[in-house]
Amino acid sequence: MNNPNEKASAATPAQLPKVLITGASGFIGSHLAGYALANGYDVYACVRASSSRAYLQDARIHCIELPLSDAGQLTASLQRLKAAHGRFDYVIHTAGIISATDRSQFDRINFGFTKQLADSLIAAGMTPKKFIYLSSLSAFGSGDGVLKRPIRHDDVPHPNTAYGKSKLKAEEYLFSLPAFPFVILRPTGVYGPRDKGYLSYIKMINNGFVPFLGRRPQYITFIHVNDLAEAVFAACASPLSRRAYFIADNEVYTTRQFAAIIKKQLGKKRLLTVSFPLWFVKAVFYTVGRLAGWFGFASAVNADKYNILCARSWICDTAPLRADLHFTPRYRLDDALKDIIETYRKDGWL
């Protein structure tokens, strides 16, 4: 496939394969939209009225609103779209939440919206050639930090967060739909331009401070958003369906190695490092998360986040993905972070 910066095919919109991307205004969704345009797709971006469209400025993008929270209205909306524009060839579902004021919101949105979208596509006669669901490695829970054995597809899932449980529930529902053509991708930590997930950590290191949680090593994995986009559209093109894959760049880092890479790319000479005992981190995260819930706002510091951060291993087996989709990641963390940090500085984020 083409580089996202290259020009798209000269085919007319009526001839281009149609792709619907939910959550298209977000970090991952907006990159998928750009990638789809560059590779000859007619892009329909599902966004909320309140969402920023800063990264969806290309006039070829059809920005639409879909009532994902209401199955009846969603089916009617899809039927109207079908009458006006025809069927979608592909649906890429990235819409969801990673933090919430109440744990039940994870189930309502991450599971509920996925169920309603799949059901409504079927009811409206809009079943696509492929439905791509962006799940998460958290749907399986963390791996063994002592043996460093990769999480495999035949393992029994044991998600230890409300977020991960909601993602697993959505996966199980898709598998329950007979003959529905889906591929599930479970990415590890996704990074790239526009991402704010790792920004606060990079800011801390830029300010000369880096915290470590616990004394035992933590093993972490990553995938660049452009490599993720490559895998998503490889899954669209593949004849395979009703499969699920872990996706990472096949490299494993400790948190200390990750911090050292950021330090190097920031050009920092010295860092103040502090190791916090897990009991202390747990007390802080649980307390802040509970207070945030009481006051009605979502905080990134919460019990779920503690369970993710304290896990000793996020290593996963990507061999099936590489074999089935012929996927080879192109981005390495060290080089990519240099460009991302430059982008952060240019945008005034750092």
Confidence (pLDDT) at 11: 57
Q: Is the confidence at residue 139, as pLDDT, over 90? A: yes
Q: Is the confidence at residue 6, as pLDDT, over 50? A: no
Taking CB atoms within 8 Å and a gap of at least 24, the contacts of 177-181 are 177/118, 177/122, 180/118, 180/122, 180/127, 180/131, 180/242, 181/127, 181/128, 181/129, 181/130, 181/131, 181/241, 181/242
Confidence (pLDDT) at 219: 95
Distance CA 244, CA 26 (A): 23
Confidence (pLDDT) at 9: 40
> Model-level pTM?
0.92
Confidence (pLDDT) at 294: 83
Confidence (pLDDT) at 332: 94
Angle 171-173-175 from CA coordinates, rounded to 5°: 75
Confidence (pLDDT) at 289: 79
Q: Is the confidence at residue 156, as pLDDT, over 60? A: yes
- According to CATH, what is the number of the domain 13-346? 3.40.50.720
Q: Using one digit for the tens of pLDDT, what is the confidence trace for 51-87? A: 889 999 999 999 999 999 999 999 999 999 999 999 9
Confidence (pLDDT) at 285: 85
Token reading at 145: 């930090």
| Dihedral over Cα of 55, 202, 332, 155: its sign | negative
How much is the mean pLDDT over the chain? 91
Non-local CB neighbours of 334 within 8 Å, separated by 6+ positions: 261, 264, 265
Work out the pLDDT band at 21, boundaries 50, 70, 90.
Answer: very high
Work out the pLDDT band at 2, boundaries 50, 70, 90.
Answer: very low
Q: Which of 45, 81, 60, 79 is nearest to 13 (CA)?
A: 60
Confidence (pLDDT) at 4: 41
Q: Using one digit for the tens of pLDDT, what is the confidence trace for 118-131? A: 999 999 999 999 99
Q: Using one digit for the tens of pLDDT, what is the confidence trace for 235-263? A: 999 999 999 999 999 999 999 999 999 99
- At residue 182, φ and ψ (nearest 5 deg) are -125, 160
Q: Is 326 exposed, middle or buried (0-12, 13-18, 19+ CB in 10 A)?
A: exposed
Confidence (pLDDT) at 147: 83
Angle 120-126-128 from CA coordinates, rounded to 5°: 110
Confidence (pLDDT) at 18: 97
Domain edges within the chain: 13-346
Work out the pLDDT band at 100, boundaries 50, 70, 90.
Answer: confident
Q: Strands 219-220, 253-254: parallel, antiparallel or unpaired by DSSP?
A: antiparallel
